[in-house]
Chain A
Protein backbone atom coordinates (compact mmCIF):
# COMPACT_ATOMS: atom_id res chain seq x y z
CA UNK A 1 0.00 0.00 0.00
CA UNK A 2 0.90 3.66 -0.14
CA UNK A 3 3.58 4.91 2.23
CA UNK A 4 3.41 8.36 3.82
CA UNK A 5 6.59 9.74 5.33
CA UNK A 6 6.84 12.96 7.26
CA UNK A 7 9.97 14.87 8.14
CA UNK A 8 11.45 15.91 10.41
CA UNK A 9 9.97 13.68 13.13
CA UNK A 10 10.68 16.28 15.80
CA UNK A 11 11.33 20.00 15.62
CA UNK A 12 12.11 22.60 18.27
CA UNK A 13 11.82 26.26 17.33
CA UNK A 14 12.34 29.56 19.02
CA UNK A 15 9.24 31.72 18.92
CA UNK A 16 9.29 33.86 15.79
CA UNK A 17 11.24 31.37 13.67
CA UNK A 18 10.02 29.92 10.37
CA UNK A 19 9.85 26.22 9.50
CA UNK A 20 9.01 23.81 6.71
CA UNK A 21 7.45 20.41 7.27
CA UNK A 22 7.51 17.82 4.53
CA UNK A 23 5.22 14.95 3.53
CA UNK A 24 6.33 12.42 0.93
CA UNK A 25 3.96 9.80 -0.46
CA UNK A 26 4.77 6.77 -2.56
CA UNK A 27 1.82 6.69 -4.98
CA UNK A 28 -0.75 8.91 -6.66
CA UNK A 29 -3.33 10.41 -4.34
CA UNK A 30 -6.78 11.87 -4.80
CA UNK A 31 -6.53 14.29 -1.94
CA UNK A 32 -4.22 15.37 0.83
CA UNK A 33 -4.93 17.05 4.14
CA UNK A 34 -2.76 18.66 6.78
CA UNK A 35 -3.93 18.48 10.38
CA UNK A 36 -2.67 20.01 13.61
CA UNK A 37 -3.13 17.97 16.77
CA UNK A 38 -2.90 20.38 19.68
CA UNK A 39 -1.52 19.46 23.11
CA UNK A 40 -5.07 18.59 24.23
CA UNK A 41 -5.33 15.98 21.49
CA UNK A 42 -7.79 17.79 19.23
CA UNK A 43 -7.32 17.35 15.49
CA UNK A 44 -7.77 20.55 13.56
CA UNK A 45 -8.06 20.75 9.78
CA UNK A 46 -5.43 23.05 8.36
CA UNK A 47 -5.54 22.49 4.64
CA UNK A 48 -7.20 20.30 2.09
CA UNK A 49 -4.68 20.50 -0.73
CA UNK A 50 -4.47 17.76 -3.38
CA UNK A 51 -2.39 20.11 -5.54
CA UNK A 52 -1.26 23.71 -5.73
CA UNK A 53 -0.68 26.24 -2.97
CA UNK A 54 -2.93 27.61 -0.27
CA UNK A 55 -2.37 30.14 2.49
CA UNK A 56 -4.15 30.79 5.75
CA UNK A 57 -2.57 33.49 7.86
CA UNK A 58 0.91 32.43 8.95
CA UNK A 59 0.46 28.96 7.48
CA UNK A 60 0.72 27.93 3.88
CA UNK A 61 0.92 24.61 2.08
CA UNK A 62 2.08 23.43 -1.30
CA UNK A 63 1.45 20.05 -2.89
CA UNK A 64 3.33 18.92 -5.99
CA UNK A 65 1.31 15.85 -6.87
CA UNK A 66 3.47 14.86 -9.84
CA UNK A 67 6.52 14.66 -7.56
CA UNK A 68 4.55 13.13 -4.67
CA UNK A 69 5.24 15.56 -1.89
CA UNK A 70 3.62 18.32 0.10
CA UNK A 71 5.13 21.07 2.23
CA UNK A 72 3.64 22.94 5.17
CA UNK A 73 5.19 26.31 5.96
CA UNK A 74 4.87 27.95 9.33
CA UNK A 75 6.06 31.53 9.54
CA UNK A 76 6.68 33.59 12.66
CA UNK A 77 5.95 30.59 14.85
CA UNK A 78 4.07 31.03 18.13
CA UNK A 79 3.92 28.83 21.21
CA UNK A 80 0.34 27.95 20.27
CA UNK A 81 1.70 26.28 17.12
CA UNK A 82 3.13 23.49 19.29
CA UNK A 83 1.70 20.04 18.79
CA UNK A 84 1.83 17.35 16.14
CA UNK A 85 1.31 18.02 12.45
CA UNK A 86 -0.11 15.18 10.38
CA UNK A 87 -0.30 14.70 6.67
CA UNK A 88 -3.08 12.37 5.47
CA UNK A 89 -3.63 11.15 1.93
CA UNK A 90 -6.54 9.50 0.18
CA UNK A 91 -5.99 7.09 -2.67
CA UNK A 92 -9.61 6.70 -3.67
CA UNK A 93 -12.53 5.08 -1.92
CA UNK A 94 -12.44 5.04 1.86
CA UNK A 95 -8.75 4.62 2.47
CA UNK A 96 -7.10 7.59 4.16
CA UNK A 97 -3.52 6.98 5.28
CA UNK A 98 -1.87 9.14 7.92
CA UNK A 99 1.81 9.83 8.29
CA UNK A 100 3.47 9.41 11.67
CA UNK A 101 3.53 13.17 12.21
CA UNK A 102 6.01 15.94 12.98
CA UNK A 103 6.16 16.90 16.65
CA UNK A 104 6.73 20.65 16.97
CA UNK A 105 7.65 22.50 20.13
CA UNK A 106 7.89 26.28 20.01
CA UNK A 107 9.83 27.86 22.86
CA UNK A 108 8.89 31.27 24.24
Chain B
Protein backbone atom coordinates (compact mmCIF):
# COMPACT_ATOMS: atom_id res chain seq x y z
CA UNK B 1 0.00 0.00 0.00
CA UNK B 2 2.16 2.84 -1.32
CA UNK B 3 0.00 5.89 -0.52
CA UNK B 4 1.68 8.89 -2.17
CA UNK B 5 4.75 8.13 -4.30
CA UNK B 6 7.12 10.82 -5.52
CA UNK B 7 9.85 10.38 -8.11
CA UNK B 8 12.69 11.05 -8.21
CA UNK B 9 13.80 11.21 -4.56
CA UNK B 10 16.88 13.30 -5.37
CA UNK B 11 17.92 15.40 -8.37
CA UNK B 12 20.67 17.85 -9.22
CA UNK B 13 20.14 20.24 -12.10
CA UNK B 14 22.08 23.00 -13.76
CA UNK B 15 20.58 26.46 -14.03
CA UNK B 16 18.32 26.64 -17.07
CA UNK B 17 17.60 22.92 -17.30
CA UNK B 18 14.03 21.63 -17.23
CA UNK B 19 12.66 18.92 -14.98
CA UNK B 20 9.36 17.23 -14.18
CA UNK B 21 8.63 15.91 -10.70
CA UNK B 22 6.14 13.09 -10.60
CA UNK B 23 3.53 12.28 -7.97
CA UNK B 24 1.18 9.30 -7.97
CA UNK B 25 -1.37 8.24 -5.37
CA UNK B 26 -3.32 5.04 -4.85
CA UNK B 27 -5.75 6.34 -2.22
CA UNK B 28 -8.43 7.39 -4.70
CA UNK B 29 -8.21 10.95 -3.36
CA UNK B 30 -9.66 13.80 -5.36
CA UNK B 31 -7.36 16.67 -4.37
CA UNK B 32 -3.61 16.85 -4.91
CA UNK B 33 -1.08 19.49 -3.92
CA UNK B 34 2.52 20.50 -4.52
CA UNK B 35 4.49 22.23 -1.75
CA UNK B 36 8.05 23.38 -1.34
CA UNK B 37 9.96 23.40 1.92
CA UNK B 38 12.99 25.63 2.30
CA UNK B 39 15.52 25.16 5.12
CA UNK B 40 14.14 26.03 8.54
CA UNK B 41 10.70 26.84 7.20
CA UNK B 42 7.28 25.34 6.93
CA UNK B 43 5.72 24.23 3.67
CA UNK B 44 4.41 26.67 1.08
CA UNK B 45 1.79 25.74 -1.48
CA UNK B 46 2.89 25.98 -5.13
CA UNK B 47 -0.12 24.61 -7.02
CA UNK B 48 -3.08 22.43 -6.26
CA UNK B 49 -5.65 20.38 -8.12
CA UNK B 50 -9.05 20.19 -6.48
CA UNK B 51 -10.13 17.38 -8.79
CA UNK B 52 -9.17 15.70 -12.03
CA UNK B 53 -9.04 18.24 -14.82
CA UNK B 54 -8.56 21.34 -12.65
CA UNK B 55 -5.46 23.12 -11.39
CA UNK B 56 -4.98 26.40 -9.52
CA UNK B 57 -2.14 28.54 -8.24
CA UNK B 58 -1.10 28.51 -4.64
CA UNK B 59 1.11 30.83 -2.66
CA UNK B 60 4.34 30.57 -4.72
CA UNK B 61 3.51 29.46 -8.31
CA UNK B 62 6.05 31.52 -10.27
CA UNK B 63 8.51 29.39 -12.25
CA UNK B 64 6.37 26.25 -12.12
CA UNK B 65 3.70 24.51 -14.14
CA UNK B 66 1.55 21.52 -13.26
CA UNK B 67 -0.47 18.83 -14.99
CA UNK B 68 -3.19 16.70 -13.45
CA UNK B 69 -2.76 13.79 -15.84
CA UNK B 70 -5.55 11.71 -14.33
CA UNK B 71 -7.00 11.12 -10.89
CA UNK B 72 -3.86 9.33 -9.71
CA UNK B 73 -1.09 11.56 -11.07
CA UNK B 74 -0.10 15.18 -10.57
CA UNK B 75 3.20 16.43 -12.00
CA UNK B 76 5.20 19.58 -11.33
CA UNK B 77 7.43 21.04 -14.05
CA UNK B 78 10.30 23.48 -13.83
CA UNK B 79 10.78 24.87 -17.34
CA UNK B 80 14.03 26.74 -16.65
CA UNK B 81 15.44 25.88 -13.25
CA UNK B 82 16.93 28.62 -11.09
CA UNK B 83 19.06 28.32 -7.92
CA UNK B 84 16.19 29.88 -5.94
CA UNK B 85 14.19 26.74 -6.71
CA UNK B 86 16.57 24.57 -4.71
CA UNK B 87 14.25 23.04 -2.15
CA UNK B 88 12.50 19.92 -0.99
CA UNK B 89 9.26 19.37 -2.87
CA UNK B 90 6.35 17.52 -1.33
CA UNK B 91 3.24 16.17 -2.98
CA UNK B 92 0.12 15.73 -0.86
CA UNK B 93 -3.38 14.40 -1.35
CA UNK B 94 -6.72 14.85 0.36
CA UNK B 95 -10.01 13.06 -0.15
CA UNK B 96 -11.73 16.37 -0.83
CA UNK B 97 -10.60 19.94 -1.19
CA UNK B 98 -10.73 22.32 1.72
CA UNK B 99 -13.01 21.78 4.64
CA UNK B 100 -12.46 18.83 6.88
CA UNK B 101 -10.03 16.72 4.93
CA UNK B 102 -6.59 15.92 6.29
CA UNK B 103 -3.66 15.86 3.89
CA UNK B 104 -1.31 12.93 3.34
CA UNK B 105 2.23 13.52 2.12
CA UNK B 106 4.77 11.76 -0.05
CA UNK B 107 8.37 11.40 1.09
CA UNK B 108 9.60 14.40 -0.87
CA UNK B 109 11.95 15.16 -3.75
CA UNK B 110 15.20 16.88 -2.82
CA UNK B 111 16.13 19.17 -5.69
CA UNK B 112 19.41 21.10 -5.98
CA UNK B 113 20.02 23.60 -8.75
CA UNK B 114 23.59 24.67 -9.38
Contacts and interface: CB of A to CB of B under 8 A. Distances in A.
A41 B102 contact: no
B85 interface: no
Nearest to B56: A94
Contacts, number: 61
Contact of B99 (A92, A98, A99): A92
Contacts of B104: 45
A100 B41 contact: yes
A33 B42 contact: no
A98 B43 CA distance: 6
B54 to A, nearest CB: 10
Interface in B30-53: 31, 33, 40-45, 48, 50
A43 interface: yes
Interface residues of A, number: 23
B35 to A, nearest CB: 8
A86 interface: yes
Interface of B: 31, 33, 40-45, 48, 50, 56, 58-59, 88, 90, 97-105, 107-108, 110
A43 B106 CA distance: 8
Contact of B45 (A41, A86, A96): A96
Nearest to B43: A98
20 contacts: A4-B42, A31-B102, A41-B108, A41-B110, A42-B107, A45-B104, A86-B42, A86-B43, A90-B98, A90-B99, A92-B98, A93-B98, A94-B45, A95-B45, A95-B59, A96-B33, A96-B103, A98-B43, A98-B44, A101-B41
A31 B100 contact: yes
B103 A33 contact: yes
Nearest to B49: A94
B91 to A, nearest CB: 11
